[in-house]
Amino acid sequence: MDKRYLDYLDQLEAEAIHIMREVAGQFQKPALLFSGGKDSITLVRLAEKAFRPGKFPFPLVHIDTGHNFPEAIQYRDELAERLGEKLIVRHVEDTIKKQNLSEAKGRYASRNGLQTYTLLETIEEFGFDCCIGGARRDEEKARAKERIFSVRDEFGQWDPKRQRPELWNTYNGRIAMGENVRAFPISNWTELDVWNYIKRENIALPNIYYTHERECLVRDGKLMAWSDFIYRDPEEEIVTRKVRFRTVGDMTCTAAVESVAYDVDAVIAEIIESKISERGATRIDDKLSETAMEDRKKGGYF
């Protein structure tokens, strides 16, 4: 076989590493948004390949709603310590108190949207001019039309009509004072690509990505991880099921799927058979309206 041959994972990896190095080369103060989810964990592995044996040219940043899965928070802290990289954590709870924000009430209440305020505060506090995120085009229609270098205005807002062409893998990071960019190195990856890469690289994940028993609240046909953060109607049932999480966000808006996938190969087999995207199957916040994700992005969301 030709030694120059790259399989599709090699090509995706090379593109992502190129994008990360473009971010490091074009921006003065970038940051990598890290939640302890599989996509941001994949970004960290790619950053290792892009910049080791040196230090990352950016800190890891987590916007903590206070309603995150404890398994993800534990993984976040352990990974940052093992890597020896700087981890910046800012809390939505502090922003709520500081800006006197009102939290949503009722059965679909979530702090997910309030993360935007904390993120914009953090960008201003540290002067970040680019934030690297793990969004992918296969996840949701608003993300499908967003560029790899996504320019945000001085208020952090995204204008879909103001996107720049990205021809021949050329990325334009020029911004005006006060603007910033969100960069998405794995934008062209799919959920299956991510899991095949996790398998190839033998990347450890929080155990909630694999089948485990958990108390779940049954809501609108979905299984929500039961916690004190979730409002419960009297008629809503709490059951114990064998589940796993395809995506990990705020506990109040992320549903589980019933599963018997105890290892990476079994997860890959389930994804191949799946007919619904991970966000379509599990994210409550995306179903609040037809344009829920795009509306949040226009307001400054990740």
Q: Which amino acid is at 164?
A: R
Between CA 141 and CA 30 the distance in angstroms is 26
Query: What number is the average pLDDT over the span 157-164?
Result: 83
Angle between helices 38-51 and 191-201 (to 10 degrees): 60
| Residue 159: per-residue pLDDT | 84
C-beta of residue 199 within 8 angstroms of C-beta of residue 269: no
**Strand ranges in the chain using DSSP code E only, listed in sequence order:** 30-33, 60-64, 87-91, 130-132, 149-152, 180-183, 212-219, 222-225, 238-244, 255-258
| Residue 280: per-residue pLDDT | 60
Residue 163 confidence (pLDDT) above 90: no
| Residue 1: per-residue pLDDT | 45
Lowest mean pLDDT among 66-75, 135-144, 207-216: 135-144
Indicate yes or no: pTM above 0.85.
yes
Query: What number is the average pLDDT over the span 255-259?
Result: 90
- Could you tell me the residue ranges of all domains in the chain? 8-192+291-298, 206-288
Question: Average model confidence (pLDDT) for the chain?
Answer: 87
Please, how many CA atoms are within 13 Å of residue 17, restricted to the half-sphere of its CB?
Answer: 13
| Residue 243: per-residue pLDDT | 94
Query: What number is the average pLDDT over the span 201-220?
Result: 93
Q: What is the pLDDT of residues 3-46, one digit of tens each?
A: 556 699 999 999 999 999 999 999 999 999 998 999 999 999 99
Pick the CATH number of 8-192+291-298 from 1.20.120.1200, 3.30.70.100, 3.40.50.620, 3.50.50.60: 3.40.50.620
Residue 2 confidence (pLDDT) above 50: yes
Number of helices and strands in the chain (H, E) = 10, 10
